[in-house]
A and B are shown apart, each in its own frame.
Chain A
Amino acid sequence: QVQLQESGPGLVKPSETLSLTCTVSGGSVSSGSDFWTWIRQPPGRGLEWIGYIHYTGSTSYNTSLKSRVTMSLDTSKDQFSLKLTSVTTADTAVYYCAKEVFWGGYYYDYMDVWGKGTTVTVSS
């Protein structure tokens, strides 16, 4: 059974770079139909998709964050990572990593595995 665990600093200063890693256990990041995803949730608000990376290296990012986001994958460690540059207090949120299963030919997707989430606060 696949499990995900986020790790990284809980406090980041404004204008600096937020870096998080998600470790996959019980499975492999090299699965064709799986898209390794980052989602965040600001305090008291809804879920916001940040982006995904596929084991082929293909990425897709939220249009509103695209200029500041980079995702990468380490297949040897079964990890994937998020970097968000030039953070502000608006980036304070719980950050989740998740596994999205996407079947394009059948027009559906779902996030079947989620990490517990990690709280990142942007403050000086």
Chain B
Amino acid sequence: SSELTQDPAVSVALGQTVRITCQGDSLRSYYASWYQQKPGQAPILVTYYKDNRPSGIPDRFSGSRSGNTASLTITGAQAEDEADYYCNSRDSSGNRVIFGGGTKLTVL
């Protein structure tokens, strides 16, 4: 499969927990990675594989997978977490890369 589906927009109250999801057939085989993008900036990697975070990414960001759905959870959302979030994985063949359409997170 060559599609990953994300909700276009999600909102969360400051300090609360939010889950952003990504659905696709490829996720039954491949783990998703998640990226945060703020306006005018390049994306940055926030989680990958089972629940790995690059150095410098706060531990309030976590990743998980169940069936064909990958999730990015932010526990205790901060104002600076307001951004667009994208998921990606290899497609089911493993030969191509696919991105979700992105989710705009608003922190209220």
A residues in contact (CB < 8 Å) with B: 37, 39, 46-49, 52, 60, 62-63, 96, 100, 102, 104, 106-112, 114-117
Structural contact, A114 and B98, CB atoms closer than 8 A = no
Q: Is the interface of A mostly helix, strand, loop or mixed?
A: strand
Report if A109-B90 is in contact (Cβ < 8 Å); known contacts: A46-B99, A49-B97: yes
Contacts of A37 in B (CB 8 A): 97
* Chain B nearest CB, measured from A105 CB (Å): 10
Does B30 count as interface, using CB distance less than 8 angstroms?
A: yes
Interface string of B23-43 (1 = CB under 8 A from A): 000000111010101000011
Interface string of B85-108 (1 = CB under 8 A from A): 010111000111111111000000
Structural contact, B42 and A115, CB atoms closer than 8 A = yes
* Interface residues on chain B, number (Cβ under 8 Å): 28
Give the distance in Å from the alpha carbon of A106 to the alpha carbon of B52 in the complex.
13
Give the distance in Å from the alpha carbon of A46 to the alpha carbon of B3 in the complex.
13
* Chain A nearest CB, measured from B7 CB (Å): 13
